[in-house]
Structure 1
Amino acid sequence: ADAFVGADACSATKYRIRGRPIVEFPVDEVTFLLAAGEGPLAGAMQETVDKDLMTPSSRTPRAMGTPVAVQTATIYYAYHEITVLIPKYGRHLQYYGRFIDDATGAWNDLDDPEAFDRFCEDVNDFGILRWEVEERCNQIDFLDLTIWINKENRIMTKTFRKPQNIYQYIPKQSAHPPGVGRAIIFGCMRRYRLQNSLRKDYLEQINLLYTHMKARGWPHHLLAEWIMKSADKLEHDLSLPLQAEPGKGKESELTSNRRTFVHLQYHPHGLSRTQVRAAFDETCDNFRGTDAEIDQLTVAFSRPRNIRDELISARLHQVEGQEASTFRPNIP
């Protein structure tokens, strides 16, 4: 469903699709994919086009939930956005964003109060796709955000939670590496920190996270420790300028040959990182004094395959000689 915020006081921004400026969106590639007739991605795209135009197709169906279905749907409607909606209504759309089949925007009537009605008609004038467009308002729930315009005409946000969410975080008894619980806390808190304009909303989300994690069996002392350390790290990290430290860029990391990784499959009763590191130091001592000397050892755990991996495959079958990249046009 589309939801639009009446935002006469909002400052204009570049029109964006999935976070990318519309002026940079590869229109030629979208057009090519819609017209393509070969390759796995083209086959999925063609199936969508065939269903929409009600014409027979001999291609393998790509139902939602199968590989590239989401990408297909996103690119399919992006063509209509790029060629019709943005050119016709760009001056009214101070912001426009879409994630698959959910879209939102900031609209300004300017000198044309009937423009929004025409926009709603054009939104649904594309194949057999039909959108439910909500009335314009000053507050909406969009994906995991509540967005509203306050009395000072500032756009504010806070985390939105669906009432039916049952919060099935990984339980303490699960056979996951010990760092997973800590990563859940930090990842959620970072998202809350970025989503909530008001500090009271941020703190409320942390309290809810603690309650839900504790209900999944995680002990109080671990949760309290992780929350405090995550809060300190976030206050430090988010206050830094967005620039890489000298010598810490990707280029220096990729060219380093003095770092070694030890990959192990994790087991709750297996060796810990500390034990592996101690055994390495005792037997190898970082190969000091030799050509193989290293500066850093990293012990990396991977999880074993589970039932979900066996039952649900997300890998796209590639026909030799017909890979998607084979049919991509040479676009600068």
Structure 2
Amino acid sequence: MTQKLPEGRETVGETPRTGPGKIHRTALRGRFAQVEEPADPADTQPGAAGARAGSGQEATYEKRDGIMELADSVVLVTGGAGGLGEAVVRTVSEAGAAVIIADLADERAEKLAAELGPRARYVRTDVTDEASVARAVEAAGDLGVLRHAVVAHGGFGVAHRVVGKDGKPAPLDGFTRTVDLYLTGSYNVLRLAGAAIAGSAPDEDGQRGAVVMTSSIAAYEGQIGQIAYAAAKAGVVGMTLVAARDLGPVGVRVVSVAPGTMRTPIMESVGEKALAAFAVNIPNPRRLGRPQEFAALVRHILENPYLNGETIRLDGAQRFAPK
């Protein structure tokens, strides 16, 4: 059973330090250079000065038996009113975190925030707009210390073959808009939230928090007509390890989740017969994934400080066929 859309249709979806004052060698643009360490390495850590000066970031990252506590942290969730995002919002809220619901679905998001109480806030957010994401990050600071961001937004999608059966090339606009939403939007949140998290006080291991991004198994075996979506989600996979390496020195982890076919509200709209057909190609369990299972994995990633730089498939061993 294919999961792609008819041609042209759109849908709404989803170094080690060597010590103070010492000199060490560091690789720079493929060459080695002599670099002098500052007398106080702590001065180079984002947020360290603010934490010492009483800037409101003094609270350290709490651990319980090696697990990072979500209580008293703030989690920003893009797509927080959607199927996967809402499940994450509810899960981290139940764990004691304050949460920013970053979305464009005003009615659903406001209702969810009201249900969860004063430690949940809706901030209308366009992930492709720098100022919009910056406002959401700033709002997170109003609730406490931003420790985590979860990129779980959906949106539109297009289904085009590179060259259609009529011999015409696919429109470029659909490709660029899809990549902008799912890849550039993810990067926009990653960089802005990552910078804010890097400004918080670390735990005894130097850990400050994490960013979880959402890819898809389409990144690995995209179906016919999914080239735009597959390219965008493959880009998320490609960013994950690099971002984890980039943010490692400031104690921010980066992990992505690649879901298979999930039973979100938008998927449920196709009807039980179609859902059953989708499940036939899922080995075990032979059903669609549940948003709560996605949220449970995200929570584990946020709490487990040794998960970093990896994309985790969540798909019941599903592998997409060509169509």
TM range (shorter): under 0.3
Larger radius of gyration: 1
TM-score by length of 1: 0.22
User: Which has the larger strand fraction?
Assistant: 2
TM-score by length of 2: 0.23
